[in-house]
Each structure stands twice: as C-alpha cells, then as structure tokens.
Amino acid sequence: MIVSLYPHCLPVKGFNRSIICDLQECIYYFIPNDLYDLLVKHRLLDRKLLIEEYGGENSEAIDDYLLLLEKHDSVFELNKSDTLEFFPKLDLTFDEPSIIDNAIVDTDNNLINLKKILPQLEDLCCVAVLVRVLTSISFKELKKLIDLFKTSVIQHLDIIVSKNLLFDYKQFQSLFQENLRLNSITIFECERDEIDKINVENFSNSTIGYVKRTTERFNPSGHCASITPKTFVLNIKHFSESQHKNNCLNKKMSIDIDGNIKNCPSLATTYGNINKVSIVDIAALNDFKKLWLVKKDSISVCRDCEFRYICSDCRSHIEDNNDVFSKPPNCDYDPYSGKWSDDPQKMSFREA
C-alpha cells in the first residue's frame, strides 16, 4: 500500500514534538519528531520501501506511524507512485490586495473620529474594522454607529462597548439582521459574564452574531489576550501569513481616541495624527510597516515551537523591550519541555 499526506495536512516541527495541522478540518494533533522527519523526506509512504530503508527492527514503529496518520484521515491511497504529480503541495504564498487589512478605531458617542477615518480606510481597501467605544453609549447611538457602515466596502465589523449597555435580545437580533457585516458586540462592566448567540428570527440554528457581556473593566492600551490553545487559529490564511509576516500586526492600523495613528493600541509609538496627516500616507511609510515583517520563525523561543503557525503573536508585550524578536510573555508554553504552566485547563506534553 502506498499513501501520501493530504496537501492540506501540514507538519510543523517543534523542539520536543511536532504537530500536523489539518487546515481543511481546522484541527491539529501531535506526532513524534521522527515522524515529522520521515514525512518531510518522503512524500510517498510505501510501507515496503520504508522498512527496507529503516530496517526490519523499525517495522512496528513504521506501522504505528501509518496507523496514526490513517486514524486522523491525513493520508490518501495511491495506486501508482507516479500519480503523485497530480497532487501538488499546498501553495503557502501569502498576498492580499488590501494596503491595510484590519483596523482598530477608538471613538466616543459623537462618532467624529470614525466619520473622518472610515472613508480613508475604504481607500486602503480595509476588510475588517474593530470599533471601540470608550464612553457610555445608548442603543440608539450604537445603531447610528453601525449605520455608518451600511454602504461601506468594509466586510467585517466588530464593536467593543466599554461601559455597560442594557441588553435586550430582540433589539440586538434586529440590529444583527439588518447589518450582516456585524460579527460581534462585546460589552464591558456588565453585571454578569455571558455570551449570547444571536440567531435569525424563527431559525434557532442560524447564528449570525454574538453579544458577549463581561464584568471586566476595559483597558484600551492593554487588552491583549493570553496565548492558549483556545486562541489558536487553524485556517489557510493564518497559517500562510505566519510563514511570511507577523500574524497580528501585518497590515494592521490603530487610531486612538485622540486621533494618533499606531500599529496597535498597546504600542507606544505613534506615526502621526489624523488631524494633521492622511492615514493613507502613514500606511505607505516603511517605518510604519517594519513590524509587519517580524514573523514567528524569527522570534526567540517561538521559532522552536510546534504551535508557531497557528498561535497569534504580540509585539506590544515582549520579555525584552530592547529586542523586537523577544518572546511574548503572555504565552506560558515551553516548547523545550512540551508543557504549559500549571494551569489544568491546558494540555501538558505527557497528556498529549
């Protein structure tokens, strides 16, 4: 029997162990580094030839490896070895037509900043916008904010409301149904923590968005999530981007409540102010784009981690502020031991 790894199943080697990322099923699983080396060397997995190469004493290990791949539906059978040419490797070249792909815009309830910024983001072919409302806002004012995007080329809209806003399911359901580019609304300083799925009216299985309510206070400059398995992203876009660019800051722009233009709300460096310069001009500056090129394979510790292409990166919080290639401290995974911290919610090397 001759099998080969599906093109969408990509092995990634870590210091202590490897994983296979199935970018079609959006899952990953662990494999030994020896199996990773075998998969890199042999696109065709012919049991007979593998035993001839590695010796009969390794036949049991080879069988175990093949069974593991078959168990996870990661391989397909070939009748002839020369048919492999019809199954090319997945092209991981990454490029996007947008100059700025995603933006974070801080505003208050008068929306002056947002009205000024939105047309410029459209000129940059921006795809996704996160609007953070840093003052109290009524539902009526929230609706006016969302209405600004009704004829916009922006495809995805998420909103953070920093102060408690009364939640009425019917009102929010209507809001999401009328604005299909709206993905989620997160409301801080609520009385309890809760996530509500917003479904199409009369169709309980058709989720069109989410409203997340949290008791936490919102911190505009420090709201970076910790890196955990729950935050991993498994898709072709993220995996490909991680090969070549910084998967958090690439083509990202942030404009704070005072109009200062940054790479990220948590970074201190500003490149200008919307009241004095066009964000289109800022996006063209090489200095503004330099962090876009800090990819995971260049970052200390991360470059030895098997999760490096499916986790997110952070350059605003790094262990050594004098070294842009320093590891983010909001990740407590150690690729050299294969263990997370003592958090029981995370998987250790021995449990994998």
User: What Å distances lie between residue 186 and 47, 190, 290, CA to CA?
Assistant: 53, 10, 31
Poorest-pLDDT segment among 117-121, 202-206, 237-241, 274-278: 202-206
Q: Read off the pLDDT of residues 42-91 as tens digits, 9 standing for 90 and up.
A: 999 999 999 999 999 999 999 999 999 999 999 999 887 677 888 899 99
Whether residue 351 is predicted with pLDDT greater than 60 in this model: the reply is no
pLDDT at residue 231 is higher than 80: yes
Residue 343 is predicted with a pLDDT of: 56
Short-list 91, 92, 122, CA closest to 105: 122
Sorted by where each starts, the structural domains of the chain and their CATH numbers stand as 2-86 (3.90.930)
Helix (H) or strand (E) holding 119: helix 112-123
Q: Do residues 100 and 288 lie in contact, with contact meaning Cβ atoms separated by under 8 Å?
A: no
- How far is it, in rounded angstroms, from Cα 70 to Cα 203? 38
Give the H or E element holding residue 63.
helix 59-71
The dihedral formed by the CA atoms of 259, 260, 262 and 265, expressed in degrees to the nearest 10:
-70
The one-character DSSP state at 108 is -
Closest CA to 59 of 68, 69, 77, 47: 47
Structure tokens at 286: 């090489």
Report how far residue 94's alpha carbon sits from residue 18's, in angstroms, rounded to the nearest whole number. 23
Dihedral over alpha carbons 306, 312, 315, 321 (to 10 degrees): -40
pLDDT in tens, 141-192: 999 999 999 999 999 999 999 999 988 999 999 999 999 999 999 999 999 9
- In which order are the strands placed within the sheet that holds 27-31? 9-13, 18-22, 27-31
